Structure 1
């Protein structure tokens, strides 16, 4: 079974963590789309969150990871794109449950709030956990409906 393509995007605060996760994904054999930012200069997180979310929603990548200082702003931006289900996670349990119960397709991380090892644990749980379906499928279906 081939591994999914994973897209990554970050603002300046998440730049270093994004690069670390990118390199780890590549070492594990994942195809990676790095959507930037490509340096520590200040940029606007909504631009990168939306770009990644659109890439996932369009099917160019099956999963995504967005990183900003807190993970909050970039996840809000990503979730404005229909078809994106971004979940802000702070530990492996939340990363596992966002996949298992919510079929999240984008992992959001706060580079200023969690350490590198926790980010790695979140990524591992996110990538390895399948959607449970069943009673959760009905609820996930409702996430895509207009308010």
Structure 2
């Protein structure tokens, strides 16, 4: 049974992303599975505008800002390269797969065991982390003209850019 919280017509705007903050702690593998089953994938941050939008998200728990806590985003280390978990290249414009916002001294691959990425602190800076940690995932999806918001245990946030 699905009753959307609201419908938002967006026929004059191009949908870029719907971000969903899950309130369920998950490892990176569990987070990616959750995001792929319920949305598109873990959050992909393509530029500073995406980063700034993500930094404005509010977690419903204690009404604290997204970036005062740590959360999984979809960047991971594989074969000496950092890659976004969404492999569909049609989603990206030139250069967008290369955007990074590492904190000072990051990534450091501590003990050669940090192959996943978390976003934390008010600057939205990233750290590499062990994929086995349990953190909140941030998922994203691309929607059509009508955005319907209703999920259990999630906070949804849609944002658009003009056509």
**TM bracket, shorter-chain basis:** under 0.3
If asked which structure has higher relative contact order (CA below 8 Å, sep 6+), I would say 2
Q: Which has the higher helix share?
A: 1
Larger radius of gyration: 2
Q: Give TM-score, length-normalised by structure 2.
A: 0.26
- Structure (1/2) with the larger strand percentage: 2
Output the TM-score relative to the length of structure 1: 0.28
